[in-house]
């Protein structure tokens, strides 16, 4: 084995670890808000609609972040973009602990969102440019499977911190994202494929922009990919923002029992990431995505109307098994664009989808005010159904698209 190949393989695993840690902290940040929400509502005397808008503010920041961090990543490198994202949301999440009222929460969650949205697109591009095609789906699923790990860890922290120290201390834990930034700075080298294509296409001194995503050869891909992500995330955020509150308010669980249920739910989600990542490599990304969405359409309404505590305990992991679409999206979206716009393109589809889904928590809160959280969570199944429709349309478009330009570094990975 040559020294160059050995060095490249070593960096591949450092990329895997760094992206895993980054996305785990990204997930932990989102879940800190969800598990703290009942305590925030009680402490600040918020309505369900006002509480939902806090989640909305986060997702609006995420939508802007996809463009800002994706642009930065494609122009200045994956490593710098990943470190910057981690530092941004780590600091602003910890600052939430100092918020004095609802307006402070809104502002700080928006600012945290500006960092949170960058991790997904950068990680998807980094994995695409570090692993050969036959391993890419599983590598992306493993990295993005850190999402339920981060969710579960946030629930674990809530179980320890909330009853004793309150919700403010819980948000101080968000500063831990800096650990992932330090690992990335010390051990990860910049993507060779990104540097090679920048040099090969003469863009070393040029800037890529969002306009490139809407050139003739990418327009339909970008629009359909964004719509697929939007509706999948409408279903996901509509349900997951409110599941902890639903378990407490409508199913009568105490905070400690609720966090146990949420931890088990995320165990199911982690297993789903690995299962569907493997399926994506075996049967194709589009088929695995559609299968995941179909499962969510069936199981989510059943979970929402279940009243038995024992059944809720076991239905949670089964339902969350089908919430693993982001892992497949990570491999799929990154394959839709050449390296020069890969981080921007993958991040745009997914994170603009997150931004457009921003009003799902607020809308579900409004439904809950008139009906129940169970009704709103059940309705989220429609979002997953529409995501499946747009994924099928995207697959049809891609079958008729011309092959993408492949840099020497990309070609080398494909041969491995």
Residue 202 is predicted with a pLDDT of 57
Residue 3 is predicted with a pLDDT of 44
pLDDT band at 295 (very low <50, low <70, confident <90, very high): very high
More confident position, 70 or 6: 70
Global pTM value: 0.72
pLDDT band at 300 (very low <50, low <70, confident <90, very high): very high
pLDDT band at 98 (very low <50, low <70, confident <90, very high): very high
Give the pLDDT confidence of 341-369 residue by residue, as tens digits: 888 888 888 878 877 877 777 777 777 77
Percent of the chain at pLDDT > 70 equals 91
Question: From the CA atom positions of the chain, what is the Rg in Å?
Answer: 20
- Residue 375 CA from chain centroid, whole number: 25
pLDDT band at 85 (very low <50, low <70, confident <90, very high): very high
Q: Say if residue 4's pLDDT is above 50.
A: no
- Across the range 268-295, mean pLDDT stands at 90
Closest by Cα among 377, 411, 229, 356 to 303: 377
pLDDT band at 55 (very low <50, low <70, confident <90, very high): confident
The crossing angle, in degrees rounded to 10, of helices 219-240 and 360-370 is 40
More confident position, 67 or 304: 304
- Across the range 201-222, mean pLDDT stands at 76
Average pLDDT over the chain reads: 85
- Across the range 120-127, mean pLDDT stands at 86
Q: Say if residue 405's pLDDT is above 60.
A: no
Q: What is the 3-state secondary structure (H, E, C) of 369-391?
A: HHCCHHHHHHHHHHHHHHHHHHH
Domain regions of the chain by residue span:
12-199+207-406
- The DSSP string of 109-122 is HHHHHHHHHHHHHH
Residue 109 is predicted with a pLDDT of 94
Q: What SS3 state is found at 316? A: helix
Residue 413 is predicted with a pLDDT of 52
Residue 1 is predicted with a pLDDT of 44
- Across the range 277-285, mean pLDDT stands at 86
Percent of the chain at pLDDT > 90 equals 34
Q: Say if residue 332's pLDDT is above 50.
A: yes
More confident position, 8 or 282: 282
401 secondary structure, DSSP code: S
- Report d(CA 291, CA 231) in Å as an integer: 15
Residue 9 is predicted with a pLDDT of 67
- Across the range 159-183, mean pLDDT stands at 93
The crossing angle, in degrees rounded to 10, of helices 373-399 and 360-370 is 150
Q: Are 328 and 289 in contact (CB under 8 A)?
A: yes
- Report d(CA 359, CA 21) in Å as an integer: 28
Least trusted range by pLDDT, from 59-73, 232-246, 322-336, 393-407: 393-407
Q: Are 68 and 84 in contact (CB under 8 A)?
A: no
Residue 384 is predicted with a pLDDT of 96
Residue 205 is predicted with a pLDDT of 44
The crossing angle, in degrees rounded to 10, of helices 309-320 and 285-305 is 170
Least trusted range by pLDDT, from 83-97, 305-319, 359-373, 382-396: 359-373
CATH of domain 12-199+207-406: 1.20.1250.20
- The DSSP string of 298-314 is HHHHHHHH---HHHHHH
Give the pLDDT confidence of 215-264 residue by residue, as tens digits: 888 999 999 999 999 999 999 888 887 888 889 888 888 878 888 888 88
């Amino acid at each position: 084995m040559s020294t160059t190949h050995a060095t490249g393989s070593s960096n591949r695993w450092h990329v895997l670890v760094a992206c895993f840690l980054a996305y785990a902290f990204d997930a932990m940040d989102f879940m800190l808000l969800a598990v703290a929400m009942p305590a925030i509502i009680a402490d600040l005397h918020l309505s369900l609609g006002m509480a939902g808008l806090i989640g909305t503010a986060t997702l609006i920041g995420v939508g802007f972040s996809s463009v800002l961090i994706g642009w930065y990543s494609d122009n200045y490198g994956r490593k710098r973009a990943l470190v910057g994202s981690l530092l941004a949301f780590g600091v602003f999440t910890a600052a939430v602990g100092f918020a004095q009222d609802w307006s402070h929460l809104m502002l700080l969650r928006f600012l945290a969102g500006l960092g949170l949205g960058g991790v997904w697109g950068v990680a998807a591009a980094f994995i695409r440019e570090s692993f050969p095609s036959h391993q890419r789906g599983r590598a992306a699923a493993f990295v993005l499977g850190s999402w339920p790990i981060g969710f579960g860890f946030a629930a674990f922290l809530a179980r320890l911190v909330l009853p004793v120290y309150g919700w403010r201390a819980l948000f101080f834990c968000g500063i831990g994202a800096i650990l992932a930034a330090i690992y990335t700075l010390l051990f990860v080298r910049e993507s060779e494929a990104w540097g090679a294509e920048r040099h090969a296409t003469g863009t070393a001194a040029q800037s890529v922009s969002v306009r490139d995503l809407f050139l003739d050869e990418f327009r339909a891909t970008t629009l359909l990919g964004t719509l697929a992500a939007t509706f999948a995330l409408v279903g996901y955020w509509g349900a997951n923002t409110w599941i902890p509150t639903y378990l407490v308010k409508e199913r009568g669980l105490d905070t400690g029992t609720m966090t146990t249920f949420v931890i088990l739910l995320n165990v199911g989600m982690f297993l789903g990431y690995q299962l569907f990542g493997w399926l994506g490599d075996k049967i194709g990304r589009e088929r695995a995505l559609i299968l995941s969405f179909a499962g969510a359409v069936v199981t989510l309404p059943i979970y929402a109307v279940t009243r038995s505590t024992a059944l809720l305990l076991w239905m949670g992991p089964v339902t969350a098994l089908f919430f693993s679409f982001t892992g497949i999206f990570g491999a799929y979206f990154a394959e839709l664009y050449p390296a020069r716009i890969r981080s921007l393109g993958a991040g745009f589809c997914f994170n603009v989808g997150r931004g457009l889904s921003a009003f799902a928590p607020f809308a579900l809160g409004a439904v809950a005010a008139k009906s129940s959280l169970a009704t709103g969570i059940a309705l989220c199944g429609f979002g997953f159904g529409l995501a499946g429709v747009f994924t099928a349309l995207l697959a049809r478009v891609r079958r008729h698209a011309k092959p993408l330009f492949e840099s020497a570094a990309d070609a080398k990975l494909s041969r491995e």
